[in-house]
């Protein structure tokens, strides 16, 4: 894979992935590479296969055919589970809420790949757990029961658990769900920091096209289980392509202040607000 003129070896790569649920085929020959220090956003309509592709990279959905490679391991599916978990972690859309445990207990669980069969010592564990809670903003609720938390608070706890796992590849499936505006922006900033500052390879499924434009180095647009387009945000997030794939008109323009791409879908009632006329004085 070549980015900005230089060759970058992928940290995690899916090649020719065909994925099904029972007899229903949902993904057809998808190729996807995640590279260190870069954020790859998967976008597309509901049912396009975004989450299924991400789950296959996390070894949670076995391909009918195709391969998943991790660094110098051509067949990542053959790695021991703990060996894989030290290198790849995933924040899923939904997880069961455990009862009777604290936030610290849950985040500490992220250290499970580093412990032996009989919970042998993990010298880096306490420091890593504290850091994960700090950067996700959950330190002040460390001793609270997770069953007392709101959906947004719990989402941040699960993210802290993934970060405590301390991997080089982070997969996020719609991570801004259940978060208010502030924490959505905080999470996107954290994703960007992890990639730019720590060299983490990040794959993230997003429904919000503006979030994808903000955080991603590469955007992959899926439609009906195939990659319709992949490249820089400006190459994929275009009025013509998004309008065709999503089935409604999507205006794409550059914000005059931030200079970022803005994707704005037009509803049937988009023209109901009249432009105010100047008042004569």
Q: How far apart are CA 194 and CA 136, in angstroms?
A: 12
Cα 190 to its chain centre, rounded Å, is 12
The DSSP bridge pattern shows strands 261-265 and 250-254 to be antiparallel
With beta carbons less than 8 A apart as the criterion, state whether 160 and 136 touch.
Answer: yes
Residue-wise pLDDT tens digits, 135-149:
899 999 999 999 999
Residue-wise pLDDT tens digits, 251-263:
999 999 989 999 9
Domain coordinates of the chain in residue numbers?
1-87+167-233, 96-165
pLDDT at 2 over 70: no
Residue 97, classified by CB atoms within 10 Å of its CB into exposed (0-12), middle (13-18) or buried (19+), is: middle
Q: How far apart are CA 61 and CA 39, in angstroms?
A: 22
**3-state per-residue secondary structure call for 230-274:** EECHHHHCCHHHHHHHHCCCEEEEECCCCCCEEEEECCCCCCCCC
Q: How confident is the model at residue 215 (pLDDT cuts 50, 70, 90)?
A: very high
Residue-wise pLDDT tens digits, 119-128:
567 888 999 9
pLDDT at 7 over 80: no
pLDDT at 6 over 50: no
With beta carbons less than 8 A apart as the criterion, state whether 215 and 192 touch.
Answer: yes
Helix (H, G, I), strand (E, B) or coil at 160: helix
pTM of the complete model beyond 0.85? yes
Q: Could you tell me the two tokens for 121?
A: 């010592």
pLDDT of residue 276: 62
Residue-wise pLDDT tens digits, 167-202:
999 999 999 988 889 889 999 999 999 999 999 999
pLDDT of residue 5: 35
For the CA atoms of 203, 148, 144, 184, the dihedral, rounded to the nearest 10 degrees, stands at 30
User: Domain spanning 1-87+167-233: which CATH class is it, in words?
Assistant: alpha beta
pLDDT of residue 1: 30
Considering 5-19, 25-39, 71-85, 151-165, the range whose residues carry the highest mean pLDDT is 25-39
Q: How confident is the model at residue 4 (pLDDT cuts 50, 70, 90)?
A: very low
């Amino acid at each position: 894979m070549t980015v900005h003129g230089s060759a970058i070896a992928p940290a995690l790569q899916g090649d020719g992935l065909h994925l099904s649920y029972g007899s229903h085929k949902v993904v057809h020959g998808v190729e996807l590479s995640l590279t260190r220090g870069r954020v790859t956003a998967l976008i597309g309509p509901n049912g396009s296969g975004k989450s299924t592709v991400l789950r296959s990279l996390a070894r949670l959905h076995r391909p009918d055919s195709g391969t998943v490679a991790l660094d110098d391991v051509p067949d990542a599916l053959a790695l021991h589970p703990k060996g894989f978990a030290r290198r790849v972690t995933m924040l899923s859309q939904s997880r069961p809420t455990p009862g009777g445990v604290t936030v610290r207990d849950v985040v500490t669980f992220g250290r499970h790949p580093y412990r032996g069969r009989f919970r042998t010592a993990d010298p880096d564990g306490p420091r890593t757990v504290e850091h994960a809670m700090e950067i996700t903003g959950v330190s002040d609720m460390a001793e609270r029961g997770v069953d007392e938390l709101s959906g947004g608070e719990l989402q941040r706890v699960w993210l802290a658990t993934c970060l405590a796992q301390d991997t080089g590849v982070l997969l996020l499936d719609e991570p801004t769900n259940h978060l208010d505006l502030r924490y959505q922006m905080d999470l996107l900033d954290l994703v960007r920091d992890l990639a730019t500052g720590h060299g983490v390879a990040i794959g993230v499924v997003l429904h919000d096209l503006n979030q994808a434009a903000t955080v991603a180095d590469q955007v992959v647009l899926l439609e009906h289980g195939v990659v319709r387009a992949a490249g820089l945000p400006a190459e994929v997030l275009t009025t013509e392509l998004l309008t065709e794939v999503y089935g409604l008109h999507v205006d794409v323009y550059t914000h005059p202040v931030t200079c970022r791409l803005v994707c704005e879908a037009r509803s049937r009632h988009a023209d109901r607000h009249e432009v105010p006329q100047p008042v004569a004085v």
